[in-house]
Structure 1
């Protein structure tokens, strides 16, 4: 099986990982020591805190080294390793690298990192630092492969869901340590307290289901994204990979097989 190293293990990166895993690729993911994923019920980054993480029918397992990565993928699971500098790239030698950190800038990925290198979202230029870029902006082009140029620049405005964009984001009220006042999957009304940053309450700006929330104990700064409310209010969606992550995963998969077809590789 071909080896894929995905930089990042948040919910969108996890959507990519699950699509590739189901198509027979061996998948490992790198993460930072204190992940700040809010949609952690559908993110393999949760394994950093808990040792493993089940997303739909796929298990992610926290690993400490290349040997443990190999053991994990051989058990048909996704490997997760704390490796912000991506030293795993040198020791594991993947066939494919997918940069899904979503930092909005390229933090160091190069076309020479693997046979196929894919950049996810803004910050990458196809043909310069990666072979193909996959669009992450909601709308007509979501998940589309870009073979020349870059993805749509970051606007700083969240995508529209259920008629709301920035209002659906839960943001820290101040610098401090985050604690949730509700659980993921809770239905809330506008004005409900959904968490605290330090001693300061954080209020919901829109009604709906709390789809994402930071892990308790994470240090936050004022205005930092700390959760997500889905105004459509479908509780079941909190435990399944989103339409956006699925579309982006499909774009990555298309990019891989298109490159292979052009090279005459099966």
Structure 2
């Protein structure tokens, strides 16, 4: 699935609102078995609320500014975006964020990303945003730009994280919030992109065959730069979340991209609004030292 071509990206223009929309609406990169559905997360008025935020993003900007700097930590930025939504969307109530769980010896066992009510249902929510690729698209071989960051390891860790509040110490945290543990639903929000050399994502579990898919490249010789009309944008890490929307003077040509040893790159096309929009995402992997 090429999520960057969704009609939503023709409407939203504010960078932070676009990032928030991606956290809310992108397809899961892999199936955790406990996905929080997009419709549940958005709610009945979610799209209208996003459009209103895009027209008047000041509240979101102030919220994020109070939590900066993010120190180039994409996860912190994504968590702040979701926290804003859970605090302000009409169908959600944020009860706790980064709720620390300590064992009987006083040692930290972990922290729950969010505890919130969604349409009245108490939920423990774990969020992750990851960008993994491999030439063959097999989940067992997919890794991030840092080759030690692997999909298989993160998927296993996420399963552990979703069980955190089911422990005796975790149940104590829930009781402290006035919640009955048996009523709390553990769910995940798994976002990101899966990259492979194939035109379509693979279907091996746990990879979602309908995930946001991009092109995986180890050598620029594998990529066709022959269309001189194409423009590109080497994405800073904090811009990974949403499809790129770039002013013409910020775009880059083929020679700029060929010089990159690794990174994520947006292949762009010009749209009637005068901006260059992401048409496809590329992962240039440097596996020489892997």
> TM bucket by the smaller chain?
0.3 to 0.5
From the two aligned structures, give the one with the greater helix fraction.
2
Q: Which has the larger radius of gyration?
A: 2
The TM-score normalised by the length of structure 1 is 0.33
The TM-score normalised by the length of structure 2 is 0.31
